Every structure is written in structure tokens, then in C-alpha cells.
Amino acid sequence: MFDQIIQEIERQGFSICPHLLSSQEVSEANEFFLRHSTEFQAALVGPETGKKRVEDIRGDFTLWLATDNAPREFRKLFEFLNELKSELNKRLFLGLRDYEAHLARYPVGSFYTLHLDRHEKKSTRVVSFVFYLNEEWKDGEGGELILYDKNNVEILRLPPEPGTFICFLSEEFPHEVKVATRERRSLTGWIHSIQLS
Ligand code: OGA
Ligand code: MN
């Protein structure tokens, strides 16, 4: 598993594990989404000093998770991330220290336009990752993650299928989330080169 991820990151800068999570794990994650639906907050855009809601840029709602004391439903995902972090350090010397993660809910009709996860100079994001948590996703329902190369040529179009995992180098790939006809659920985060407080 980690061999393949390491090789793909080294070769192409991103790696996909189709259906990494079992349907049981995805279904428990969904129950968590339902129980905590009122705690999600509208995701904002802009600089730290002037963040605002702009649904024409991103329309998702997020709930940050504590990574040191994760809810039971996500403990296995976080163990996987801890292992991924140490394998990436051991074999690719990425100097990863810590990660942060939130659940994301994209209501029907919402999207996230083209952006880079490591946009600001001071950003310490090195690896971006997403676990897709919908229990079902059919062709034609949209919601794909699209990765572009540095010349804005599309290189990957990934539908958010149940339990699929992707990670990619935050600096390398502008990307966007297409509009969907079904609520789109994920656990999304970033591994940083510093210890987060
Ligand atoms: C993000 C993001 C991708 C996805 O939250 O920054 O790009 O597929 N998410 O949810
Ligand atoms: Mn992003």
C-alpha cells in the first residue's frame, strides 16, 4: 500500500487509492456527518485578516477535527495518515511534521473553483489529502476533483467515490471541485512541515 503511494508521489506527485475504506467505515463516517450536521461552518476565503464567504469561489461547509483525540469514526484514517507521514519522511525526506484535517460537506449545487492549496509564501502545507466519504456516487453526479499541471492542462479527473483516497503535493497542482447533483462529503487535510499548535 505505502510502497505504491511512495512510488506514485515520486513519479507523478499524486497518488490515488481507490476504495481504501470499507463500506462499513464509510457508513460510520456518514452517521457522524448526520449527528454533527449543525456544527459545520461555512468555509471562508481570503487573507487571515479579512476572510469572507464567497460562494462563487467555494460553497462547502467544514468541521475541523482534533487529530490527537479523533472521534472514534476517524481513528483508523488518522492512524493511516500518521503512517503515511512517516513513510513519506523515511523514503522521500519530505520533512513532514504534523497534519490538520476537516470534514467537508458540499451541498447540492456547490463547488470550489481553481486554486492552489499552498498559495501564500508562508504556507507550510506540503501534502494535501482527501478521503471521499459518500456511500454512493454515480456517473453523471459531478463533484469530480480535477488536477491541473503548472500549465493548467488537466491531468486527472477523479469522481468522489466511496472510500477513495488521494494525496498530492500541495505546491504542484492547481485543482478544483466541480459542482455536484448530490451532497458531497469528504475528510480533507494537509500535512505540514511544522508542528501545528
Ligand atoms: C480543498 C480541496 C478537494 C476535494 O478543500 O482545498 O481542494 O476533492 N478539496 O474535496
Ligand atoms: Mn484544495
| Whole-structure pTM value | 0.97
Is the C-beta atom of 168 inside 6 A of ligand 1? no
Is the C-beta atom of 130 inside 6 A of ligand 1? yes
Contacts for 29-32 with beta carbons within 8 Å, 24 or more apart? 29/73, 29/74, 29/133, 29/185, 29/187, 30/133, 30/134, 30/135, 30/185, 31/73, 32/71, 32/73, 32/74, 32/103
Q: What is the SS3 assignment for the chain?
A: CHHHHHHHHHHHCEEEECCCCCHHHHHHHHHHHHHCHHHCEECCECCCCCCECCCCCECCEEEEECCCCCCHHHHHHHHHHHHHHHHHHHHHCCCCCEEEEEEEEECCCCCEEEECCCCCCCCCEEEEEEEECCCCCCCCCECCEEEECCCCCEEEEECCCCCCEEEEECCCCCEEECCECCCEEEEEEEEECCCCC
Q: CA 159 to CA 166: how far, in whole Å?
A: 11
In angstroms, what is the span from residue 177 Cα to ligand 1's centroid? 6
Is the C-beta atom of 112 inside 6 A of ligand 1? yes
Q: Residue 166: CA atoms inside 13 Å, Cβ hemisphere, count? A: 23
Q: Residue 47: CB partners within 8 Å, gap ≥ 6?
A: none
Q: What would the grid cell of residue 82 be?
A: 500518521
Is the C-beta atom of 43 inside 6 A of ligand 1? no
In angstroms, what is the span from residue 91 Cα to ligand 1's centroid? 26
In angstroms, what is the span from residue 89 Cα to ligand 2's centroid? 22
Q: Closest ligand 1 atom to the C-alpha of 115?
A: 7
pLDDT in tens, 113-166: 999 998 777 889 999 999 999 999 999 999 999 999 999 999 999 999 999 999
Is the C-beta atom of 166 inside 6 A of ligand 1? no
Q: Which of the residues in the chain have pLDDT under 70? A: none
Is the C-beta atom of 111 inside 6 A of ligand 1? no
pLDDT at residue 48, rounded to an integer: 82
In angstroms, what is the span from residue 86 Cα to ligand 1's centroid? 23
